[in-house]
Amino acid sequence: MSFRSGRHFLQIPGPSNVPDRILRAIDQATMDHRGPEFGELTLEIMDGLKKVFKTEQPVIVFPSSGTGAWEAALVNTLSTGDRVLMFETGQFATLWSGLANKLGLDVDLVAGDWRHGIPADALAARLVDDNEHAIKAVCCVHNETSTGVASNIAAVRQAMDDAGHPALLLVDTISSLASIDFRHDEWGVDVTIGCSQKGLMLPPGLGFNAVSEKARDAAKKSTFNKSYWDWDAMLANNATGFFPYTPATNLLYGLKEALAMLFEEGLDDVFARHDRHAEATRRAVRAWGLNVLCENSDEYSSVLTAVLVPDGHDADILRAIILERFDMSLGTGLGKVQGKVFRIGHLGDFNDLMLAGTLSGVEMGLGLAGVPHQKGGVSAALDFLADPEGTRFQ
């Protein structure tokens, strides 16, 4: 391959760009993970993670992908044959339901059109009809990475409370954690699933379970065989800052730095920045004459925007042209929307000029690919970004 000057634009919705501060933090000599210095590091990280999850409850860190954190949540709280209620909001919700099926759970997957979030009324109806309380867990994806749709988890919890149903609430925040406001304790979530390579700005390799007291009580009754994913072993060792097996030491160095960066900016300002970049992106899309996949403005994601291409055009051809000409990666359409959408990631370590460059690459690519559109999307986004008010959303 020939040399390409400048930095590659990684504008997929995760893994996100890893900032230099975190890369430098990871680039340190590995310490003794049984020594006192490491225990102090872990306790500091655990305290910081609680602030990000907005919880006073334990947060467990696995050396894993988000998929591993999914599995850990299920095998610790449930037993073979337990019924779980899930919602088909997109590709990742579908994959999670497939994992649950493979584990031997009885999955009730509520069909969806991939353009809307979890319908609280449909959830409430299912729970009211479940007089025997056969449903042991409600599993939700907060921000569906494949569609750019963010579900209202507070409304989900309210529906569960209104129905008086005792099911556990398990929530995937893999692409929303540290990018969109999430409140584990306030929203009554029992297990929050997260990972390192999105809003936390790290490389892939860390999975998280934030676990309520109710979830820990349920774990005592679980009959699933587990070893690597066992919460008990993790919690017992984490109490003094250690792990039951070798942790991802250098990623933990990076996590400490990531937490410092988030707190220096302030979580509320981090969320506002993501909201602002998402709105600027949607203004560009509207100016191009294209449509956002998400149909409900109350459910727009601030992590990514999934853009529909007109009928007769292939989003993956557009993506290939943009990669070849401008060295920029956009997210592909997944599952049902493959070839129909491209996804613009605007999360993590990201600023106004990075977004301006991203949208410029898309606008030029639309022209080169022959996708019908109107020019001016970049200008519409820049006008919004340059607005002194900065938050005047339509």
Retrieve residue 50's tokens. 């609680």
Mean pLDDT score, 163-172: 98
The predicted-structure confidence for 268-295, as pLDDT tens digits, reads as follows 999 999 999 999 999 999 999 999 999 9
Q: What percentage of the chain exceeds 90 in pLDDT?
A: 97
pTM of the model: 0.96
Retrieve residue 386's tokens. 């340059």
Q: Cα separation of 331 and 249, whole Å?
A: 30
Backbone torsion region of residue 175, taken as left when φ is above 0, otherwise alpha when ψ lies between -120 and 50, otherwise beta:
alpha
Q: Cα separation of 84 and 106, whole Å?
A: 6
Contacting residues for 117 by C-beta, under 8 A, at least 6 apart: 89, 144, 149, 150, 151, 152, 296, 299
Range list of H helices, the chain? 20-26, 36-53, 66-77, 91-102, 120-129, 153-163, 213-219, 231-238, 249-265, 267-288, 315-326, 352-368, 377-385
Domains parsed from the chain with CATH numbers: 9-16+266-385 (3.90.1150.10), 20-263 (3.40.640.10)
Confidence at residue 391, expressed as pLDDT on a 0 to 100 scale: 55
The predicted-structure confidence for 84-98, as pLDDT tens digits, reads as follows 999 999 999 999 999
Contacting residues for 257 by C-beta, under 8 A, at least 6 apart: 21, 22, 24, 25
Q: Cα separation of 52 and 385, whole Å?
A: 27
Q: Cα separation of 350 and 79, whole Å?
A: 42
Q: Cα separation of 326 and 321, whole Å?
A: 8
Mean pLDDT score, 69-85: 98
The number of CA neighbours under 13 Å toward the Cβ of 51 is 15
Residue 75 pLDDT > 60, yes or no?
A: yes
Mean pLDDT score, 183-187: 98
Local structure of residue 300 (DSSP, 8 states): B
The predicted-structure confidence for 200-239, as pLDDT tens digits, reads as follows 999 999 999 999 999 999 999 999 999 999 999 999 999 9
Residue 5 pLDDT > 60, yes or no?
A: yes
393 confidence band (pLDDT: 50, 70, 90)? very low
